[in-house]
Structure 1
Amino acid sequence: MDFGTWPRLYVVDVEGNGATPPDLVEVAAIPIVQGRPVPESARSALIRPAQPITPFATRVHGITNRDVQNCPTWADIAPHVRADLDGVWIAAHNASVDYGVLARHLPGWQPAGVIDTLRLARATYPNASRYGLDALIEHTRINLTAVPGQRHRAGYDAHATALLLLDMAARYDSWAALTAAAVPPGMPGAPAPDHKEETLW
């Protein structure tokens, strides 16, 4: 894989407040440049949601209402997130969730493409027993010792997903081959369907 052929790409992760639909309480985006994550250029922010964080959500990600009581609102940071992600490729694990939440919070936003590392893992590791992020980290034995933070926080999960993506990318010859396996149908960046023109004879 020639990483020099990759377009601008951010690996993203979001955490919500447990509402339906969820308000964002944390967002992280880490760029991949020349085949490596660049944590020093990552954006990660806690957000004070309009509605309180539910106890269930806190049990998942550990973020409490006290943690965010003095944090900026989504309106405060949305322009910065849009500036980072406008027109770039994004990647996430089970990407339909992160893409859907971000699209709802950024009206009119359209990434260049969406890579789903869950979909890619199913194509890359057909013999894996499970495809959750924890299971894939164990399956691939990616070294996460240098990743700051903790599991289920957006910055940590985005960095771990970036390392997982790069581990899988090494098994593909080209960006086109990677995206053919990784972009869900109907999402930005998906290959156009191959329609053959019908004729009467």
Structure 2
Amino acid sequence: MNLSTWPRLLVVDVEGNGANPPDLVEIAVVPIDGGLVRPEQIRATLVRPPQPITRFATGVHHLTNQDVANAPTWDGIAASVQADLDGVWIAAHNASVEYSVLTRHLPTWQPAGVIDTLRLARAALSDAPGYGLDALLLHTGLDVSTVQGKRHRAAYDAHVTALLLMTLADHYATWDDLIQVAVPPKMPGAPAAPAPDHEEQTLW
């Protein structure tokens, strides 16, 4: 695939406070521009949620209420985040999570499309022992030694998801082939269903 033909795309990861529905405590975006992952352009920020981080959530991402005590609230960064994400393609692993959280936090957000690396991996790597991010990184042999940060933090997870997306893209000849598989049903960017043949729809 000629990756230079791709539209600008932002790989997104969010971490929550453990509430249901979750409030954000961290968000990160990693650009893929001109077919290249751009780690030097990573944007990540902590967010002070309206409700405390639960002990369970801290056990996953290791962020505590003290860590976010001086972070901006979502209201303080929402306009900036939406300006970054409006009108561009986003990608995430199990993208329905990021998409649902972001649409709840940004009700007027309009992405160009949503790519799910989980869907891509299930289609392209039928021999994988599992499709969680850790299992896929191991299965594909991706070198993540230079990725900054730690697993389950937003910047790290977004960066390794971007690298995984590049690897999965090798299984598809064109961008259109990739999005045919990668975009979850009813999400922005899903290819339109072929128009029914007129003759098949008539009785005479």
TM-score, length-scaled by structure 2: 0.96
Q: Does 1:64 align with 2:64?
A: yes
* Whole-angstrom CA distance in 2 between matches of 1:185 and 1:65: 36
Instruction: Show the counterpart of 1:189.
Output: 189
How do 1:148-163 residues align onto structure 2 when only pairs under 5 Å count? 148-163=148-163
RMSD between superposed Cα atoms in Å: 0.9
- The secondary structure found in structure 2 opposite 1:67 is coil
* Whole-angstrom CA distance in 2 between matches of 1:136 and 1:56: 24
Instruction: Show the counterpart of 2:94.
Output: 94
* Whole-angstrom CA distance in 2 between matches of 1:169 and 1:23: 32
Instruction: Show the counterpart of 1:178.
Output: 178
Instruction: Show the counterpart of 1:200.
Output: 203
Q: Does 1:137 align with 2:140?
A: no
* Whole-angstrom CA distance in 2 between matches of 1:142 and 1:79: 35
* Whole-angstrom CA distance in 1 between matches of 2:39 and 2:57: 26
- 2:7 touches 2:33 (CA, 8 Å); kept in 1? no
TM-score, length-scaled by structure 1: 0.98
Q: Which runs of 5+ in 2 are unaligned?
A: none
Identity of aligned residues (%): 64
Q: CA deviation at 1:32?
A: 0.4
1:79 partner amino acid? A
- The secondary structure found in structure 2 opposite 1:22 is coil
Write out the 4+ residue segments of structure 1 that deviate beyond 3 Å after TM superposition.
none
How do 1:1-201 residues align onto structure 2 when only pairs under 5 Å count? 1-196=1-196, 197=198, 198-201=201-204
Q: Which runs of 5+ in 1 are unaligned?
A: none
* Whole-angstrom CA distance in 1 between matches of 2:65 and 2:202: 62
- 2:31 touches 2:37 (CA, 8 Å); kept in 1? yes
Q: CA deviation at 1:193?
A: 1.6
Give per-residue Cα distances to partners, 1:114-166, cap 9 Å, x unaligned: 00000000111011111000000000010001100000000000000000000
- The secondary structure found in structure 2 opposite 1:158 is helix
179-188 vs 190-199, which moves further? 190-199
Aligned length: 201
